[in-house]
Amino acid sequence: MTTAGDDQVTAFAGTLAAADAPPMVMTSSATYGRIDPTAPAAFSPVVVRELLRGTLGFTGPVISDDLGNAAAVAATPVGERAIRFLAAGGTLVLTVAPTTFPAMLEAVEERSAADPAFAATVDAAVRTALLAKAEAGLLD
């Protein structure tokens, strides 16, 4: 089982630091029992905020794996999937099921309107995504 100190995890930080282009990272929907047994990586502040952003020092965009059809997150209501990913420190929510997008967007908008701290989290995610686009020359 993978732990935060495993070679394949710590080597990842070196790979990110040595990348020619500003990197992006995709989280898995797997649960890593020795890192955070309570949540899939995409929903885990321990994985995203503490390990990836804290220990490994990654500041770029974190993209979810598919949160629309993934069996690993099927028990979580669709809108809650987007909220949990963003709250864990993620940047861009990915769904391969277009029909799930409206529920995800509505849930994020409603939570943002009701929770200023979550709204600030969403704003930070948007800034991270836009900065990455700008650095990649994708914005005018």
| CATH code for the domain of 100 | 3.20.20.300
For the chain, 140 residues long, give each residue's pLDDT as a single digit of tens: 666 566 665 655 666 556 665 678 999 999 999 899 999 999 999 999 999 999 888 889 999 999 999 999 999 999 999 999 999 999 999 999 999 999 999 999 999 999 999 999 999 999 999 999 998 888 87
Say if 44 falls within a structural domain: yes
CA distance 11 to 119: 33
Q: At what angle do helices 78-87 and 116-135 cross, to 10 degrees?
A: 70
Say if 140 falls within a structural domain: no
CA distance 79 to 81: 5
> 82 to each of 56, 98, 118, 123, how far by Cα in Å?
24, 14, 12, 14
| Domain span including residue 96 | 7-135
Say if 2 falls within a structural domain: no
Strands (DSSP E) found in the chain = 25-26, 62-63
Joined tokens for residue 95: 């769904």
State residue 37's pLDDT score: 95
Say if 1 falls within a structural domain: no
State residue 56's pLDDT score: 84
CA distance 41 to 38: 9
State residue 58's pLDDT score: 86
Say if 108 falls within a structural domain: yes
Say if 12 falls within a structural domain: yes
User: What DSSP designation does 120 have?
Assistant: H
Q: How many domains are contained in the chain?
A: 1
State residue 69's pLDDT score: 94
Strand partners, 63: 26, 92
State residue 67's pLDDT score: 97
Say if 70 falls within a structural domain: yes
Q: Is this model's pTM higher than 0.75 or not?
A: yes
Say if 32 falls within a structural domain: yes
